Amino acid sequence: MNYVVVDTYEELSKKASGIIAAQVIMKPDCVLGLATGSTPLGAYKYLAEMCAAGELDFSEVTSVNLDEYAGLDGSHEQSYRYFMDTNLFSKINIDRNKTFVPSGIASDLAHEGEEYDKLIEGLGGIDLQLLGIGVDGHIGFNEPDRVFIAQTHPVNLDESTIDANARFFSSRDDVPRAAITMGMKSIMQAKKILLIANGQNKKAILEKAFSGPVDPMVPASILQLHPDVTVIFSEN
């Protein structure tokens, strides 16, 4: 594992965008696994700038996102589809028909998960998966559990995740209690993984995830088994 500690969020964002840009330049028709949350925003801003400057071409790229809230459709401002459209897809020349986010409003989320896994398999898997990490160690919305769950699946969110995400909603009560998330198999089969974490509140969980045992109660710890992981951490 390549564990990089930087001093500032700007540096983190520049490094992360550089890695994603290199992936797109080396394989223009690559499959990017993308993440939401506050941490990737800086990297997305830099990617948009590179694209606007004509330095980066997303026209052949396909993207698959990690997760979506249950019950929110893409027009809801807190949905992850809306987040991606607003913060990245509308600012780069990606073909919107080649951007995928699991549907949170499918009547059968388990079936939606099966279809999502088939879609990723049909694309030939993910070339580069971008991840954040939750304070409870989640990646995507794979929450602490007794076992790692391989397939894309519906999930009930942890109280700590609801707390952490309440800042994006008008009240904690508005945060959906459930979601659909890519499972560990599609994540672990990605050729490369880039995990970004920012802030002092992520320090302890990073330590647990990457120096402790591989344990489904610390979902990100499974990444210890992946051959090509880069972690970029900025405490500030």
User: Residue 38 interacts with ligand PGA (CB under 6 A)?
Assistant: yes
8 Å CB contact between 96 and 107: no
- Using CB under 6 A as the binding rule, the residues of this chain from 85 to 114 that contact ligand PGA are none
Structure tokens at 52: 């606007």
Of 68, 112, 127, 138, catalytic? 138
Known catalytic membership, residue 67 = yes
x-or-dash string of contact with ligand PGA, 114-133, rule CB under 6 A:
------------------xx
173 is annotated as an active-site residue: no
Stretch that binds ligand PGA, among 35-43, 105-113, 119-127, 226-234 (CB under 6 A): 35-43
> Would you count residue 142 as binding ligand PGA (CB under 6 A)?
no
Rule CB under 6 A: is residue 42 a binding residue for ligand PGA?
Answer: no
Contacts of 50 (CB under 8 A, 6+ apart): 17, 21, 56
Of the residues 112, 117, 127, 136, which is catalytic?
136
Q: Which of 134, 137, 154, 176 binds ligand PGA (CB under 6 A)?
A: 134
Annotated catalytic residue 215: no
Cβ–Cβ < 8 Å for 234, 201: no
Cα 64 to Cα 59, 209, 210, distances in angstroms: 15, 24, 25
Q: Which of these is catalytic: 68, 117, 127, 143?
A: 143
Percent of the chain that is helix, strand, coil (3-state, to 5) = 40, 20, 40
Helix (H) or strand (E) holding 203: helix 203-211
What span, in angstroms and rounded, lies between the C-alpha atoms of 193 and 5?
Answer: 16
127 counts as catalytic? no
Options 67, 68, 117, 158, the catalytic residue: 67
Residues that bind ligand PGA (CB under 6 A): 37-39, 132-134
Catalytic residues: 67, 136, 138, 143
